[in-house]
Chain A
Amino acid sequence: MSNDVVVSARNMTKRFGNTLVFKDVSLDVHKSEVVAIVGPSGAGKSTFIRCINRLHPFDEGTLELLGHRLTGGKAKVPRAVLQDIHTRVGMVFQTFNLFPHLTVIENIMLAPMEVKKMPRAEARERAMALLEMVGLPHKRDIYPKRLSGGEQQRVAICRALAMEPEIMLFDEPTSMLDPELVGEVLGAIQRLAREGMTMLLVTHEMAFAKEVADTVVIMADHEIAEMGPACEVLESPKTERAQQFLSRVLKPEQAADDFVAARTASQGGDR
């Protein structure tokens, strides 16, 4: 593993019971690289990035991550390793998952204080700095319910950043947002990219992927259909499966037809 590779997946395979989620996924992520993962829903993108920070175990293959080597299968990862990974890898969820019973600033301060034993005053100061960065310092004493989706997601980003992670994982961070709120969240992510954060980002925003990602991975049918430099993959995909997917996202009317066809098929299937 070369010095600046921080994530190295080799032939990772994941199943839920008997259903295959993805198989034979191999992928290297270098320090400060931004990798965008795109693909049709159900392809296994979310599950893959959850396997990276071990929210889910995986079944086969190996994963080298920040100096740890994890193998698939039943073997239990020692608590200390898990703890180290979770501390050094930040995650932002599609559904934000802010802690509803804590105020904005308490959400951000909790992990540094509990995990890193950071003194309260310092945690507060740093939380404020993060809130300034995303333009939400005035919301610090409000409960998450009272924030818009875009604001909640920006707070969730701050919460993850408060642990000073070396790698950030984003699982469709904007797909639950109203269109007019997408920009503010993407802006915060773009800023992180410019500052050199290593990131894996599952997204449906193709234009954004093209702009911020160094590498694009297209996942479809439980495997990597194509992977390479962002512009290359998105503009002139080589595999048929990748072309198919991209033509659908880029041509909405085609997507609409597919949607209707899929709906009809699945409703027929229920009977």
Chain B
Amino acid sequence: MHVALHYLGVYGVGALKDIALTIVSTILSIILGVLAAAGRLYGPKALQIAIAWYVEIIRGLPAILQLFIIYFGFDQIGIHFSPLMAALIWLVAYGVGYAVEIFRAGLMDVAQGQREASAALGLSPSTTMRKIVFPQALVAMLPPLTSFVVLQLKNTTLLYLVGFADVMYEARLGVDATNQAGPLYVMAAVVYLIISLVIGRIGMRMERRAAAYR
């Protein structure tokens, strides 16, 4: 048996950690992202501006730089996070910046005529949001949300740099120990490829179901 295959087991464990982190951070990002999108669209002016700048900064800086600021940078001012903690804070902080824009675009994607028709029928703003706008926005949001989850999964590859023991971390260790950079990195690529494709498939299925009326 090829030496690289010995690493399948630790890759599996690492992959489970990455998947768990992706799921948890996605859920938190979506919850906070919905709130932030609502604040961005309907909140007081100062809040709108603050959220807009937050989004710009998150989207304007490299992901790795954000991770390093949270893990190494905060250390300078006496705030120290464990690798897991830093990973979670980073993925959520980063994720919210992207989720806000997805929700905002989704909500704005719903035609103005839909809101008008709803208002003309006497439906309240909150009913209009719940029954008319949000269900339609969700359909528009599913494709970018799917890409977003894949993006977050890919972001976990950076976590070995702060010592979080995932697939990449094991791959690095393995290469140091065996000098088998070829098979070990390609195997890591395949692991991420498979998870990404599964996420894409799930997203596509949800889209098809949600968009049945289109």
Contacts and interface: CB of A to CB of B under 8 A. Distances in A.
Interface residues of A, number: 27
Given A95-B113, A101-B139, A145-B214, A86 B120 contact: yes
Nearest to A56: B116
B120 A115 contact: no
Contact of B136 (A91, A100, A115): A100
Contact of A91 (B111, B120, B131): B120
Contact of A100 (B118, B119, B120, B214): B214
Contact of A101 (B117, B119, B123, B135): B135
Contacts of A110: 121, 123, 131
A58 to B, nearest CB: 16
B213 A101 contact: yes
Contact of A86 (B114, B121, B135, B212): B121
A201 to B, nearest CB: 15
A99 B114 contact: yes
A99 B132 contact: yes
Given A110-B131, A145-B214, A97 B113 contact: yes
A114 B116 contact: no
Interface residues of B, number: 21
A93 B116 contact: yes
A163 interface: yes
A55 B120 contact: yes
A83 interface: yes
Nearest to A88: B122
A97 B135 contact: no
Contacts of A111: 121-123
A50 B112 CA distance: 14
Contacts of A47: none
A71 B49 CA distance: 33
Contacts of B114: 97, 99
B124 interface: yes
B116 A163 contact: no
A144 B121 CA distance: 18
B147 interface: no
B127 interface: yes
A110 B212 CA distance: 19
Contact of B121 (A95, A102, A159): A159
Interface string A53-71: 1010000000000000000
B135 to A, nearest CB: 5
Given A100-B136, A101-B136, A90 B120 contact: yes
Contact of A83 (B124, B135, B212, B214): B124
A223 B24 CA distance: 60
Contacts of A160: 120-121
Interface of A: 50, 53, 55, 83, 86-87, 89-91, 93, 95, 97-102, 110-111, 114-115, 143-145, 159-160, 163
Closest 10 CB pairs of A and B: A97-B117, A86-B122, A111-B121, A87-B122, A91-B120, A97-B113, A143-B213, A115-B122, A101-B135, A101-B213
Interface of B: 111, 113-114, 116-124, 127, 131-132, 135-136, 139, 212-214
14 contacts: A86-B120, A86-B122, A87-B122, A91-B117, A93-B116, A99-B117, A99-B118, A110-B121, A110-B131, A115-B122, A115-B124, A143-B212, A159-B121, A163-B122
